[in-house]
Amino acid sequence: MAKLLTVDEIADELSVSRNRVYDLAAAGLIPVVRLGRLLRFDPDQIAEWKRDGGSRWPPARSTR
């Protein structure tokens, strides 16, 4: 497993504010690892989330 990223690192990567990262995490729209009150982000899950358009997490599964 790669090193988990911080809120600041994700905010920089996505070019958004820290508050926006917290909002996305609270809404369940971005993959997050919660360590008590701390939020951390798995870079592999973030890459998958971005490839899928970054619209929601977990990605919608086909029911076909």
Residue 24, pLDDT score: 94
Residue 62, pLDDT score: 53
Q: Where are the domains of the chain?
A: 7-51
User: In this predicted model, what pLDDT tens digit does every residue of 6-63 receive, in sequence order?
Assistant: 999 999 999 999 999 999 999 999 999 999 999 999 999 999 999 988 876 666 665 5
Residue 64 pLDDT exceeds 60: no
Residue 52, pLDDT score: 87
Q: In this structure, which amino acid lies at residue 14?
A: L
Residue 54, pLDDT score: 83
57 within 8 A of 28, measured Cβ to Cβ: yes
Residue 53, pLDDT score: 86
49 within 8 A of 41, measured Cβ to Cβ: no
21 within 8 A of 11, measured Cβ to Cβ: yes
